Structure 1
Amino acid sequence: MTILILLRGNCGLSKCISVYMVAMATSDLLAIIIIAVVYRILNYYFPLSFLSHTPVCLFIVYMTTITLDLSVWFTVSFTFDRFVMICCQEFKRKHCTKRTAITLLIIVSALILLKNIPVLFAYEPEKIIQNVQWGCKTSATFLASPLGMTFVWFYSASVAWIPFLLIFVFNSLTVCRIFVANRTRIGLQGHRNGNQSNSVGENRRKSVILLFSVSISFIVLWLTYSLCLAITRVSHPNYYRGDFANPEYIATETGNILKLLSCFLNPCIYAATQNKFREALLNVMKLIWKKPSEYVKKNKQSV
């Protein structure tokens, strides 16, 4: 529903912002379906189903890494776009356009698809029953190889540490720029009527609120996972798994829950920060409720 509302373009946002929001909503939806539903639930409760065949299992694992990367780097791309819009006045005319946004998202998606190809070689069949490969587990040979260790560290950095740092830096620079601009604007408008409507300023204020809401929620919800990932990569290069009494395992799984929660939270942020998005959402809900109500009312009259 969020994706459909954003595609209609009636939320009072620029086309450039709408493109990034649609991309983030789509990647979040894919992450929920593939990671939360397929990987975490269906694989667990149906261990010998079609999903447990090794080729299918490998594809699911590959898609989990891709969807997670897309969700993260689409958020970074959106943060960078707003940074350029506010802080780079000369460059924003070329960058902050719908065409540039679509091109950038396509390039990011292609790079993520290529970057995660080694995941397909990092797993091996968990067991073989009647010449049929079932399940998939991390390959000790791959992890022990220099290529495998390099990929593990590179993946950890690219999915958590680098995006975390970039979002923090871009937002810090954006806040500084807004602070300086507000002081300058107040000085220039000292003798003007403060009640004059300023549609440009209002739109910028909404986009800034949206930016900070998405970025802060990302930082807060990914903080636990990023810290645990740093600790486990340093103290346990080969990682650990399945020790439910291990505090590091508990903390890491808590971080996994929180990072998936960020995918659920973004649509709530849209609704909380954008008035027109809430109006469009209410109109859709009314339409959904109206049709069954008319059908029931019509049947009662016929009876």
Structure 2
Amino acid sequence: MSAADLMVLITAVILHRFVGIYFPGSYLSLTFVCRIKNPVAYASRDSSVWLTVAFTFDRFVAICCPNFKRKYCTRKTAAPVVAGIIAMSCLKNVGWYFVFDPLYYEDNLPWYCRIIPSYYTSPWWNAFSYLDRITTPLLPFAVVLLLNFLTVNRIVAASRVRKSLRNDALSGKGHDPEMESRRKSIILLFSISGNFILLWMTYMVHYLYIRITRTFTYSGYNDPVFIIQEAGYMLLLLCCCTNTFIYTLTQRKFRDELKTIVTYPIRQVVKCV
């Protein structure tokens, strides 16, 4: 997940956004480079999203399917799952290479990229566009919500039984570390699903709006539709950062190592004094 998110930041943020804004006219703006950057950025984005889904499914199996857990939740299974997700993400986004044409020619070199007109009118390109949005993020939305609902439902049901048994045995006294662990699991699941859905919602609303109203051009940078489009891109790229932080910061061992890094210089200064 961290590697996929880092690839999104490199391809979609640094090579696409930063280069386009701060280094216009560089050789990274040539059409054939632009054609390659876009499919790679989309493939990285899809890998990040579907690895989040895979992780959610892994947690679902670990909590709700104890018999299947011994076979599925292993390093041996994780490797082909991750490889399959990355391979499918790359194959799915090859079509983006053919969506763009040169914006203009200078000294016989094609510069920048523009979307071909047939992308908005051809039924084949329309089908490709709808497939892209269905697989990312509509289907992940549905899968993550369903798995989280089933997982939380299982945790709540098990917690009620455990609480009832403890009340009978201990008269409700004492701290239950298992209940605390389950509570943290519910918070993590809701944080991930809520973060994923909220940060992708603007992107989906903009896509549905332009497809329903067929608004494919903008009057300028102050056009509200253009502002919503750019805000949607910014938020979905932000999602690739926040998911990793949420997953890692909720792990006790990671937090302990982070505290060690932060306090190490202070401990050395105190030791010297």
Query: So what's the TM-score if we normalise by structure 1?
Result: 0.79
**Closer, same or farther in 2 for the Cα pair 1:209/1:80, shift >3 Å?**
same
1:223 to 190, 201, 207: 201
Matched with 2:163 is 186
| Letter matched to residue 30 of structure 1 | M
**Offset, 1:212:** 2.9
Q: Say whether the 8 Å CA contact 1:228–1:252 is kept in structure 2.
A: yes
Query: What is the distance in 2 between the residues matched to 1:142 and 1:244?
Result: 23
SS of aligned partner of 1:134: strand
**Offset, 1:51:** 0.4
Q: Say whether the 8 Å CA contact 1:121–1:142 is kept in structure 2.
A: no
Matched with 2:255 is 278
CA deviations over 1:147-204 (Å, ceiling 9, x no partner):
2111011111111211112211211222222221111222232333453765x66655
Query: What is the distance in 2 between the residues matched to 1:162 and 1:241?
Result: 29
2:9 to 12, 15, 32: 32
SS of aligned partner of 2:67: coil
1:146-161 correspondence to structure 2 within 5 Å:
146-161=123-138
Query: What is the distance in 2 between the residues matched to 1:79 and 1:270?
Result: 11
Matched with 1:20 is none
Matched with 1:265 is 242
Q: Does 1:195 align with 2:167?
A: no
1:1-303 correspondence to structure 2 within 5 Å:
24-193=1-170, 194-195=173-174, 198=177, 205-236=183-214, 239-241=216-218, 243-270=220-247, 272-285=249-262
Q: Say whether the 8 Å CA contact 2:218–2:225 is kept in structure 1.
A: no
| Letter matched to residue 217 of structure 1 | N
Query: What is the distance in 1 between the residues matched to 2:231 and 2:47?
Result: 21
SS of aligned partner of 2:63: helix
SS of aligned partner of 1:133: strand
**Offset, 1:205:** 5.0
Query: What is the distance in 1 between the residues matched to 2:90 and 2:245?
Result: 28
SS of aligned partner of 2:90: helix
| Letter matched to residue 33 of structure 2 | V
SS of aligned partner of 1:240: coil
Sequence identity percentage: 36
**Offset, 1:142:** 4.2
Q: Say whether the 8 Å CA contact 1:206–1:274 is kept in structure 2.
A: no
| Letter matched to residue 48 of structure 1 | G
**Closer, same or farther in 2 for the Cα pair 1:205/1:26, shift >3 Å?**
farther
CA deviations over 1:128-152 (Å, ceiling 9, x no partner):
1121111111111344322211101
| Letter matched to residue 165 of structure 1 | A
| Letter matched to residue 60 of structure 1 | K
Q: Higher relative contact order at CA 8 Å, sep ≥6: structure 1 or structure 2?
A: 1
**Closer, same or farther in 2 for the Cα pair 1:123/1:269, shift >3 Å?**
same
Q: Say whether the 8 Å CA contact 1:270–1:277 is kept in structure 2.
A: no
Moved more, 145-154 or 85-94: 85-94
**Offset, 1:230:** 2.1
| Letter matched to residue 234 of structure 2 | I
| Letter matched to residue 155 of structure 1 | D
Q: Say whether the 8 Å CA contact 2:40–2:90 is kept in structure 1.
A: no
SS of aligned partner of 2:105: strand
SS of aligned partner of 1:91: helix
